[in-house]
Amino acid sequence: MCIQVANLFKCYGKHPAVKGISFNARPGRVLGFLGPNGAGKSTTLKILSGSIPLTAGQVSICGLDIQQNSLATRQYIGYLPENNPLYLDMYVHEALTFVAEMHHIVRAHERIAEVISLTGLEAEQQKKIGQLSKGYRQRVGFAQAILHDPEVLILDEPTSGLDPNQLQDIRLLIKQLSSQKTVLLSTHIMQEVEAICDDVVIIHQGQIVADFPLNELAAMYPGHRLESLFMRLTGPPSTRI
Ligand code: ADP
């Protein structure tokens, strides 16, 4: 297992946002982390990426506990945060050079060229990020996240706000990257999960309400499609399975 989460809690002050969740993510697969707004998805992903501390529980990335090895585990992780914050005044190539320096990447020039090609940014690399369309900005976010060739990719709502063509391109890119990595992506879009995910975890009000391989949906929840299962599990308590 590349990501192991055990009994994870997170409180913001007195407000419990994540209430004792456990799940695992496997290499070479895409895990869709689903939930309605406010369910605790971003909070969980921020903890996994080392951006905020956990309140209780254990998280290990590639066998290392994130609390005891916070610097080492960050090397294993590529993180694309929600809303993809970028330096809009920087040129694409310049921004990637900056990230390569942060990660002390050896042979940075070659690696940047490789990642630019992988993310389809050849024609944009000499442009300012602020000049790019949303889809291309998202590609820059991906390029930054994968530059140090992490084992694990954590993507928070990676296709939100994209038009259908851009959406298709980014989904293809995620699928392509997932063959060699463990990908964890949060979303509230069911078609996204059906298009690219292998495994599904559904979180609701800070707790996990389902965890299954997508190809076992029919066997585990007869008569349900993902959308109807999601509605039942995250609807009012009286309608829960
Ligand atoms: P999701 O990503 O599923 O929409 P979040 O993880 O953003 O959910 O939020 C989970 C809960 O934690 C929500 O009730 C939200 O209001 C709360 N929350 C998120 N971030 C903060 C914060 N920085 N301070 C206080 N409460 C927060």
| pLDDT 10s digits, 135-176 | 999 999 999 999 999 999 999 999 888 888 888 888 998 998
Q: State whether 122 and 161 are in the same domain.
A: no
Q: State whether 56 and 129 are in the same domain.
A: no
The CB of 81 under 6 Å from ligand 1? The reply is: no
Contact 221, 229 (CB under 8 A): yes
Give residue 145 CA to ligand 1 midpoint distance, Å: 23
Q: State whether 66 and 162 are in the same domain.
A: yes
Q: State whether 52 and 94 are in the same domain.
A: no
The answer for residues whose C-beta is within 8 angstroms of residue 170's C-beta and 6 or more apart is 135, 138, 139, 142, 158, 159, 162
Single out the residue in 129, 149, 169 at which a domain terminates: 149
Mean pLDDT is lowest, of 4-8, 10-14, 211-215, 234-238, for 234-238
Q: Domain range for residue 90? A: 84-149
Q: State whether 118 and 145 are in the same domain.
A: yes
φ, ψ at 160 (rounded to 5°): -70, 135
The CB of 46 under 6 Å from ligand 1? The reply is: no
Q: State whether 71 and 159 are in the same domain.
A: yes
Single out the residue in 134, 149, 164 at which a domain terminates: 149
Give residue 43 CA to ligand 1 midpoint distance, Å: 6
Which of these, 144, 152, 192, 189, lies nearest to 168 by C-alpha position?
192
Beta strands in the chain (DSSP E): 3-12, 15-25, 30-34, 56-61, 64-65, 77-80, 152-156, 182-187, 199-204, 207-213
Distance, CA of 65 to CA of 134 (rounded, Å): 35
Helix 108-118 to helix 164-178 angle, to the nearest 10 degrees? 130
Which domain CATH number covers 218? 3.40.50.300
Quote the pTM value.
0.93
Q: State whether 176 and 228 are in the same domain.
A: yes
What confidence category does residue 240 fall into, taking pLDDT thresholds of 50, 70 and 90? very low
Half-sphere exposure of 87 (CA within 13 A, CB side): 12
Q: What is the β-pairing status of strands 207-213 and 199-204? A: antiparallel
Q: State whether 132 and 97 are in the same domain.
A: yes
Q: State whether 170 and 215 are in the same domain.
A: yes
pLDDT in tens, 115-128: 999 999 999 999 99
Total domain count for the chain? 2
Q: State whether 188 and 97 are in the same domain.
A: no
Q: State whether 36 and 88 are in the same domain.
A: no
Q: State whether 168 and 144 are in the same domain.
A: no
